[in-house]
Chain A
């Protein structure tokens, strides 16, 4: 594996495109169990990221992650902004002196920092029906070099049967069952796009 700033930016560019393309789908997922704005909010964030990268051309991986973190923090709002923002802030720190990511283990460890950021900020546990339910298995599989597309998809789908215990969906209790979590879905896009770059 050889992920330099070029590949990392390619990854996040793909992620941005995927979010914009799936904007309506993400908002539709958010309608029955949230307030129907996840796609719009995330799209605002990735568009701001693209603008920021075009303007400042970050020189390394860390600066790239920081650009995404700040865009998410300042443009998304809701719960997703601080959660993605915290994840990429932790990953900014974790890549401070990293020029090239050379192994699955190293990439997994960097993502693990991001996961930690989300857990701390959101006080979220596994099975709460949140983005963590995608991040956690993805990080573990990445660390041992076993992550594939199907795994990401399965993790996302697993949120369908869960009862929401965090965020606005939690007010629905049992009625949240049967709906895929929108945050888990946007996170799944993030990791599917990463796989496209890694492979």
Chain B
């Protein structure tokens, strides 16, 4: 394993301090905690908190800022943060209007955030949870933990952050969040696995020319392995599958092409070019685009494609509104 680190035990602390030290004008680390928080939190607004395991940088701390998150809770690599840390974030950011937790649908995250919600209610905080489950490569049945929450989460940060800035109440944000999550669909494709520092070896093995569709952001197994194909054909696979998953084909969409960590932007732009052509052929208008590394998986090679149904013009405005964050 080759990684630019010091002691394994210190990687999270050192990463957090590096982040906070680089962007001291925007964020700070709450003392003795796993919480990064916004410096100047606007009063009389619902505060948004997200978080999860590390290894997905710039998610989530990169999205702290007015109009997005107020704080991010940082877990160990690919491991949910603990309830006491989530509670610290809630204590830090609550301006009296309540706190909305945005959680990716993974069992560990759900359990820890739910416990934090219960504990925070004892401290007289009003807290609601929006669960993001945009990964449609997983069948949503009672026999699984449900669809996973992946790159589409950052669109929820943006849309709900904008609504909170415009004065939406906690219950309105919860409702908007649940409605919007249903409009977001993502599938990933991996070219190579991530190496978790504590483990020291790649989480799965792909052949020299092999790719895997549907891999999760922690290297969870996908739905099919095959030989690498031209970008155009990968785009075709993902666009077709995602559009087919909508009950009614959307007329306007937003497109997020997300790098998994080790895929060059050049390839992401090429892939985006193919996606835009395919959507034009399908007669689907694209009213918002975003491409880059937003929800990574350490050094996994690959990309994910996220579409969001933007039939509602308000969502476009929310996605396009100005924010000052590290990474949006």
How many chain A residues have a CB neighbour from B under 8 Å?
32
Task: Pick the residue among B80, B112, B220 that contacts A171 (CB under 8 A).
Answer: B220
Cβ A173 vs Cβ B112 within 8 A = no
Task: Pick the residue among B80, B114, B148 that contacts A77 (CB under 8 A).
Answer: B80
Cβ B82 vs Cβ A170 within 8 A = no
Q: A82-B111, A166-B107, A168-B220 are in contact. Are A37 and B199 (CB under 8 A)?
A: yes
Interface membership of chain A positions 70-95, coded 1 if the CB is closer than 8 angstroms to chain B and 0 otherwise? 00011111111111011000000000
CA distance A122 to B112 in the complex (A): 11
Q: A36-B203, A122-B111, A175-B221 are in contact. Are A81 and B144 (CB under 8 A)?
A: no
Tell me whether A40 is interfacial, beta carbon within 8 Å: yes
CB distance from B216 to the nearest CB of A (A): 7
Tell me whether A64 is interfacial, beta carbon within 8 Å: no
Closest-by-CB residue of A relative to B80 is A77
Q: A27-B199, A168-B107, A170-B143 are in contact. Are A37 and B82 (CB under 8 A)?
A: no
Tell me whether A58 is interfacial, beta carbon within 8 Å: no
In the complex, which residues 128-156 of chain B have their Cβ closer than 8 Å to any Cβ of chain A? 138, 142-145, 148
CB distance from B222 to the nearest CB of A (A): 9
Q: A35-B78, A77-B79, A77-B80 are in contact. Are A170 and B144 (CB under 8 A)?
A: yes
Closest-by-CB residue of B relative to A89 is B115
* Most chain B CB inside 10 Å of its own CB: which residue of A36, A122, A171, A175: A171
What chain B residues lie within 8 Å of A31 (beta carbons)?
199, 203
CB distance from A129 to the nearest CB of B (A): 11
CA distance A163 to B115 in the complex (A): 27
Cβ B145 vs Cβ A171 within 8 A = yes
Tell me whether B58 is interfacial, beta carbon within 8 Å: no
Q: A165-B143, A165-B144, A171-B144 are in contact. Are A73 and B83 (CB under 8 A)?
A: yes
CB distance from A19 to the nearest CB of B (A): 16
Cβ A171 vs Cβ B81 within 8 A = no
Tell me whether A172 is interfacial, beta carbon within 8 Å: yes
CA distance A77 to B83 in the complex (A): 8
What chain B residues lie within 8 Å of A36 (beta carbons)?
196, 199, 203
CA distance A27 to B143 in the complex (A): 24
Cβ B196 vs Cβ A168 within 8 A = no
Cβ B83 vs Cβ A82 within 8 A = yes
Q: A77-B81, A77-B82 are in contact. Are A121 and B111 (CB under 8 A)?
A: yes
What chain A residues lie within 8 Å of B79 (beta carbons)?
37, 41, 77-78
CA distance A139 to B309 in the complex (A): 50
What chain B residues lie within 8 Å of A167 (beta carbons)?
107-108, 145
CA distance A37 to B79 in the complex (A): 8
Cβ A78 vs Cβ B115 within 8 A = no
Cβ A81 vs Cβ B216 within 8 A = no
Tell me whether B219 is interfacial, beta carbon within 8 Å: yes
Tell me whether B63 is interfacial, beta carbon within 8 Å: no
What chain A residues lie within 8 Å of B221 (beta carbons)?
171-172, 175
CB distance from B272 to the nearest CB of A (A): 27
* Most chain A CB inside 10 Å of its own CB: which residue of B78, B79, B220: B79
Tell me whether B177 is interfacial, beta carbon within 8 Å: no
Tell me whether B271 is interfacial, beta carbon within 8 Å: no
CB distance from B236 to the nearest CB of A (A): 25
What chain A residues lie within 8 Å of B76 (beta carbons)?
37, 41, 77
Sort A-B residue pairs by CB-CB distance and give the 3 closest, nearest first: A82-B111, A78-B108, A170-B144
Report A's interface with B, CB cutoff 8 A.
27, 31, 35-37, 40-41, 73-83, 85-86, 121-122, 163, 165-168, 170-173, 175
- 5 contacts across the A-B interface (CB closer than 8 A): A37-B79, A37-B199, A82-B83, A167-B145, A170-B144
